[in-house]
Structure 1
């Protein structure tokens, strides 16, 4: 239930989580960001310039953090976007304003609190304890001084004091908690149907006059932008790996030296009965518990059903209901004494009582699967690919430096670089500044191609690093200016677009007419039956709404007004590009505060308090920003 409360409350606090993720990106020596004059300023805060160099450091730090969190799921072009740049800059500005506010009002942390704060960083710990040598090494590796880092931590500690103070002093009256329970535990009784697009697509028709009218009215939509073709060299690990010569001897040697890599580890599954007894219990109590465990051992060995014995006697609430089943026991996951007993048993055998800190265990091995080594023939292709990749990565590192130097040192052509490195010169298809295929699908390639150096001066681009194992260099091949496309070129595109628009309009028009009928009093079942449409029940309990269609409909249903005087509410929502849902909301059942346990009620109250505190903190930050004299120089970002 507590997990469900958190899930339902996610809408309240999602913004707060985002705020926590985006807490000051540049954590090192924030005060120094605003000191002294700079050659290029990206902003001015109360007359103090924000240096471009410091801003770039913060930008790099946030980019690195997002990549670490999300891997390659982050679109590289997002990092070059103005919203991302402004978010980083805003964080720097807000942090400085907060620091000034807190310093003026005496917020600070003591030396002892600072030591506790730094000591709590997992990165600075060894074997669970603060390691001064590790602390100094990590700061040194990051190019930071202990003084600068500690100054920043004092500042952030003061910010945390403010946040915590606002959260803990926020007033949450019982009526607020009751209202939150009524909303969080609310259930809505609803049904829906789905209109598919296909029938409307089949019925849609477009005349030649409509095509011509669209073309004449919107000629600016049918412009071919300036386009280029470039010659390019690509140095890639994948291409090098395809050229690798891997001998049969090398494959066999790798297999023989890495059998663990091709071994499917065995596994053991077990069930147990726990007779709990405290680790510091008296000897008599320990003996009594062991005697009970031994009695269960005897019953099991005499043919008693182990699962039934576990359900009746086990003190382990997590497994008792499953007949004692613990699933697969992997090394290092259980107490050493327990694991030792499991790995001595044969399937179906029951151990003598085993003592751990939790009490006495009666263990039965339920399944044993031996380790299996894949035969060489089965994994040979995998080995060949691994060795080829390993060779290619080594070649790539050697060739990358020559690639970078030669395209720069001989900028008039790619020929010399191609000949020296044995790379083919390839040519792209036509592409614009904003779109392309193949290597031109990468924004960095398009930007380089349309640069003055390549397009006008006809020089090689610098080496373009697409990712860690693909390098590109481009050279001008051809260019064509923007032009108006002829009707013949775009007529099919226009027909397709108009047909799609007509189908969507027909689908949504049918949905609107259906809702008008329903709101006028026509029965739900009769209208759907007459249209030959299916009826789906939306799960009443929000925890059971897991199907994607149910989730999209639920978003609309839970945003709909509450039915009045027994009159159902009707509405519609698009599920995706081809389907439209019409729903019937019959009833809203509010959550009952009397059915919530004290523990659950306290958690909800805490969530409300956190939300109120964060709103107060956000309001304070907005007030500081509005009162400050801030000027942003976007042209320098």
Structure 2
């Protein structure tokens, strides 16, 4: 049983296992669309379930967007930043907004969505909407046209609801004046600073103190364990020199591809138009068939196919263009439609054809000329490269299977490597946290930390460190962690002791300064205590960082000083540990310069938008408070069963 487990965990075992479980994968995939068990539902909002799959898809979509914006972002940081629980919270809010919009009888028609879709550049070719491009792009994302349209309609309805609050808010000139008075306000301050870095440099540390600290904190100054690692690596690139492809091989492959092309009919294209009667939540298949018959009778009665498409078709991409799907090749449309198209003569309208999308009436408007396959000379280099790659991968797969089996039969890597003609490579002394290439992969680090490899000294299982890159590793030698020499850490110890003494001094001075202020001390008194000078800073603005962000925020939170007077003295600790005592000496309100009519209008519009956003956040909070929301956050993990 243990050998079977090892086999299944390996690359070859994974391939066979994938073939065995494929039917179950397909069933699971189908279940995603028809609804799974209750354990897949992570929230219910106004009776509408939100599934774990929906959350995971949104998580990956957000992460992909962030990866495109910041390609160098640390993957671990990205995973911790975009969490399923956070995304679920957003999906719950969206569903609450949608439910509230539907209760308010807000709608966005299919024709409105269709007009918008035709303007999306992604679905255009040569500046015009392309139905082929539309369907191709949606298929690549695992979406149907009907599902995409429904999603857009829901988005538009939610946007209508948002706009009802956000776009209808407004601001008064008096509110703008007050905002400008506060937002553009500037303040002057006097302050004195106890600089932690300067204080640190005032202390001295003796050699005996450094040596004592070193002895008492030995565990903090250790060189980590180091290892010499042996490894065998395999990739398809290693077999490039062992693969040869003759001209005869290329010619034979060309004929095979040519025969496949002819047999599949992929070199024959037809120009096709259709009328789609969609089957959805509002229309059953039987109802769709009845409507298709109505369209069929209308065409038989003299209505043009294009007019019938405009009146009857639910396909937003083609209805307004006579149902035109453009030139289609085999494999581009559902099998039911392709079977009907293959039997149709140009100009003839098919009987109703049923597909997953609904019921179609199809017309072949033109049969395009067969396109010739490129010549052998044109395809030769590509075919040669394909054959070389395929043969190299075949050799790789054979050696992967051999190596995987032999790793468990030998106590070193030498014999397994010899069986496949590979070389065992060895590293110098390295820490597991700083592995060199090609060992710097999470799978390798995990294997080297495992009991089998680290404690028992066995070969690792065959690891796929990257797509098409395989590794087996073994620890050859191990060097225990050892203390770093005192000379290497002397400076760090000295600075640490100085820092601790400076921090203690700052802490005692905070208490003294606060006591003095309670007794009525002035800023000059505090400056004397800090052994520092009193400085002035004029024209502080909200959000500034000089002399420190903490001081600026504190200065704008203080009350306005009396005329010709000074504010009370306050003390704050900055982010780097320094102390600053300060007082406000002058306040000058904003709104001194009048705005032009155009500037006033723009400012009022922006202030109204800000107020609208604030209002809508309150609306969403109210929906969360009063809405019917059930959360099953524990089910976000796929390993969590149904809640009891």
TM class, shorter-chain normalised? Answer: 0.5 to 0.7
User: What's the counterpart of residue 36 of structure 1?
Assistant: 35
Cα 1:171/1:530, change in 2 over 3 Å: closer
User: What's the counterpart of residue 57 of structure 1?
Assistant: 57
Instruction: Provide the secondary structure at the position in 2 that maps to 1:135.
Output: helix
1: CA distance, partners of 2:581 / 2:201: 21
Equivalent residues in 2 for 1:403-442, closer than 5 Å: 405=400, 411-412=407-408, 416=416, 424-426=425-427, 429-431=430-432
User: What's the counterpart of residue 475 of structure 2?
Assistant: 477
Residue 622 (1) aligns with residue 621 (2): yes
User: What's the counterpart of residue 602 of structure 2?
Assistant: 603
User: What's the counterpart of residue 632 of structure 1?
Assistant: 633
- Cα deviation for residue 153 of structure 1 reads 0.8
- Cα deviation for residue 619 of structure 1 reads 3.1
1: CA distance, partners of 2:234 / 2:181: 59
Cα 1:80/1:164, change in 2 over 3 Å: same
- Cα deviation for residue 150 of structure 1 reads 1.1
- Cα deviation for residue 160 of structure 1 reads 0.8
Match of 1:561 among 558, 561, 565: 558
Instruction: Provide the secondary structure at the position in 1 that maps to 2:169.
Output: coil
Aligned length: 439
Structure 1: unaligned runs, 5 residues or longer: 1-31, 241-393
Residue 167 (1) aligns with residue 169 (2): no
- Cα deviation for residue 588 of structure 1 reads 2.4
2: CA distance, partners of 1:33 / 1:569: 65
Check the 8 A contact 2:441/2:465 in 1, yes or no: no
Cα 1:429/1:563, change in 2 over 3 Å: farther
Cα 1:410/1:175, change in 2 over 3 Å: farther
Check the 8 A contact 2:194/2:530 in 1, yes or no: no
Equivalent residues in 2 for 1:343-362, closer than 5 Å: none
2: CA distance, partners of 1:564 / 1:34: 66
User: What's the counterpart of residue 91 of structure 2?
Assistant: 92
Check the 8 A contact 1:414/1:460 in 2, yes or no: no
1: CA distance, partners of 2:548 / 2:174: 30
Check the 8 A contact 2:43/2:49 in 1, yes or no: yes
User: What's the counterpart of residue 552 of structure 1?
Assistant: 549
User: What's the counterpart of residue 378 of structure 2?
Assistant: none
Name which one, 1 or 2, has greater alpha-carbon Rg. Answer: 2
User: What's the counterpart of residue 537 of structure 1?
Assistant: 537
1: CA distance, partners of 2:211 / 2:67: 46
Instruction: Provide the secondary structure at the position in 1 that maps to 2:584.
Output: strand
1: CA distance, partners of 2:624 / 2:127: 40
Q: TM-score, normalised by structure 2?
A: 0.53
- Cα deviation for residue 624 of structure 1 reads 3.8
1: CA distance, partners of 2:583 / 2:393: 65
Equivalent residues in 2 for 1:5-44, closer than 5 Å: 36-38=35-37, 41=40, 43-44=42-43
- Cα deviation for residue 158 of structure 1 reads 1.1
Check the 8 A contact 2:170/2:604 in 1, yes or no: no
Structure 2: unaligned runs, 5 residues or longer: 1-30, 239-387, 640-644
Cα 1:142/1:45, change in 2 over 3 Å: same
2: CA distance, partners of 1:635 / 1:184: 46
- What is the root-mean-square deviation in Å for CA atoms of aligned residues? 5.5
Instruction: Provide the secondary structure at the position in 2 that maps to 1:65.
Output: helix
Cα 1:92/1:629, change in 2 over 3 Å: same
Equivalent residues in 2 for 1:501-520, closer than 5 Å: 501-507=500-506, 520=520
1: CA distance, partners of 2:507 / 2:194: 9
Check the 8 A contact 2:228/2:426 in 1, yes or no: no
Check the 8 A contact 1:191/1:537 in 2, yes or no: yes
- Cα deviation for residue 68 of structure 1 reads 0.3
Cα 1:603/1:85, change in 2 over 3 Å: same
1: CA distance, partners of 2:477 / 2:104: 63
Check the 8 A contact 1:136/1:146 in 2, yes or no: yes
